[in-house]
Chains A and B, each alone.
Chain A
Amino acid sequence: MDFVSLFGDSIQQAIGPTAIVYALAAIGLNIQFGYTGLLNFGQAAFMAVGGYTMAAFVSTWGLSFWLGIVAGLGLTAVLALLLGIPTLRLRADYLAIVTIAAAEIVRQVVGSVSLKDWFGGQDGLQEFSDTFRSYNPFSDRIEVGTLVAWSANDAWVMLVGWTLVLLCCLMTWLLVRSPWGRVLKSIREDEDAVRSLGKNVYSYKMQSLMLGGMFGALAGFCVALRSAAINPSMFATDVTFFAYTVLLIGGAARVLGPVVGSIIFWFLITFLDLFFSQATNPSSGPLIPPSIMTETQASLMRFIFLGLALMLLMIFRPQGIFGDRKELAIDAR
């Protein structure tokens, strides 16, 4: 068992580009679900719209990268409007149904054969990252001791990504301590009460959905830029559910919850994956005999353990890492 690579790779994932993507997506969900109580099960759609708009602007239509970023943010806001107008007046469950369907629709549309000229079908798009990479201040691999190392491109994505995460957290913090954030939290508690106090609940829910969606778009940009490619499989439904897991691990309605959640989630998932694949590797004298678990079975173990961990978390610490148990106990009255 190679513990250096086990921990090294896990840490690399825990603070690497993937963790950033999920942190951003979960920050968006935190605004929507954590603070406002909106069940958005289609965060992947917002990520896809953001990422694909940026990619198609540059590689399909040859427009500027920055224009693509602005349009990506703009179109996610439009998507939020489209989803919100019919559903936000209804009960929370309707939004959940509509968003989960929208996520699939978006994924099927960008992967469709008839729009291959625009979005490249199942192969997706490439060659849109040149502008982004041209600003890269790193020219070599970045190594921290002997434990972790990132390529220059990954390091650049991480620098920009963590800055974005910090800015988003700052924005969330500024917003949720303000009277605006208080209205969101009140809507989560009781919509009718807020309405009776003269607040336009519909408008606040829409603002929340749009803001959370735009944080999702940032996650979409990061997905595309980190691999310099984008394709429909990057936006499958499990992306949204991973983002929810990240949010719940960290603690919903806590500013730093999604960030810490994402780091823990990606550390655990990588660690478990590497541990079981090493433990069952036949060439290095397996720790676990093949009669108990083969190498192919080992690759599934991480999800089993993650599911178990999530269940235990929900039972023993339902408020997440940062949550306040006292606050949660109020529900049990």
Chain B
Amino acid sequence: MPAETNLPTNVEAATPEGLERSRAARAALKQVETEPGAKKPDPIVIADNITRTFGGLTAVDVEHVEIQRGVITALIGPNGAGKTTFFNLLTGFDRPDTGSWSFNGTSLNKVPAYKVARMGMVRTFQLTKVLAKLTVLENMRVGATRQRGESFFSAMFAPLWRAEEEANTEKANHLLERFLLIKKREDFAGELSGGQRKLLEMARALMADPELVMLDEPMAGVNPALKQSLLGHVKSLRDEGRTVLFVEHDMDMVRDISDWVIVMAQGKVIAEGPPDSVMGDQRVIDAYLGAHHDTALTFEEEERILAEAEKELEEEAESND
């Protein structure tokens, strides 16, 4: 398991129970066979026969996949593999053509996105969605679920929701501190840099106290230094006992922090396993680089290709004259 790299994680976030649980969950993963659709000892999400087509294109065609509770699972694959679409399907932002999937044993078929989030499965977006004209603190407060002051009639009577609001503000302050945004508390979210937006989105998702955090390309468009810090934050989520599923297409990022990797290509799950075994998998290399990349070209072959290309160029030049 490569998860014990010394990255700057926020130790305060980790709870003893959380650490214990995630350690046990990771240990349990060792027994899992590394085949697509492998059964996990303690799955939090189970998906079966999920398909989604856009016109003639089958974007997602997943036969069976399970996500282990308490670990960091990475969903990787080349561009256009259907990772984000699969993500949207799981979180209720899109509807699959067929299939069934469940969270903690509850079926999520036809459950709208907002209810999925309330169940404890909160996602972020590839292109960050901060609420630009709200302050950072207000962004955080929106994140809390089941607020009394969010119903129309009690909204008008502040005493009904003031205590709750204070508790949420307290919680938001702690999270902002942890995600290094406390100095930006009163700024508009629209003024934050790209990396800070990623942090804010992650922190905001935590306001809902999710059991499963789903991050859609958390490292996209972030500078290398911040990438390290973001990796630390993702790890800290696991260390406080949450399950993390994240989409990424950069394999190096994945190697550092994930406990389990699921590889998608052309809508299908093609491989699964701990990062090291997946990186060496022939199917994965083929998916990323194209098949037959490793048959080295012989000298004769090279000559032949060169000659062909030259001939083509000449013909083109002639026809242009």
Contact = CB atoms under 8 A, between A and B. Distances in A.
Contacts of B133: 185, 188-189, 327, 330
Interface in B160-206: 161, 165, 188, 190-191, 204-205
A198 B152 CA distance: 16
Chain A's interface size range is 20 to 34
A196 B91 contact: yes
Contact of A193 (B129, B141, B152, B207): B129
A178 B159 CA distance: 11
Contacts, number: 112
Interface in A169-199: 171, 174-175, 177-183, 185-186, 188-190, 192-199
B122 A198 contact: yes
Contacts of A180: 149-152, 155
A137 B95 CA distance: 61
Interface in A143-192: 171, 174-175, 177-183, 185-186, 188-190, 192
Contacts of A326: 188
A24 interface: no
A19 B312 CA distance: 78
Contacts of A182: 134, 138, 141-142
A195 B155 contact: no
B123 A196 contact: yes
A196 B122 contact: yes
A80 to B, nearest CB: 14
B147 interface: yes
A180 B124 CA distance: 22
Contact of A195 (B117, B156, B161): B117
A87 interface: no
B129 A190 contact: yes
Interface string A38-79: 000000000000000000000000000000000000000000
A175 B156 contact: yes
A189 B132 contact: yes
A207 B155 CA distance: 13
B149 A179 contact: yes
A248 interface: no
A326 B132 CA distance: 12
Shortest 6 CB-CB distances between A and B: which pairs?
Answer: A180-B155, A330-B190, A179-B149, A198-B117, A193-B129, A178-B155
17 contacts: A174-B156, A174-B157, A175-B152, A180-B150, A186-B131, A186-B142, A192-B129, A196-B91, A196-B122, A196-B205, A197-B205, A198-B146, A198-B208, A199-B114, A207-B152, A326-B188, A330-B132
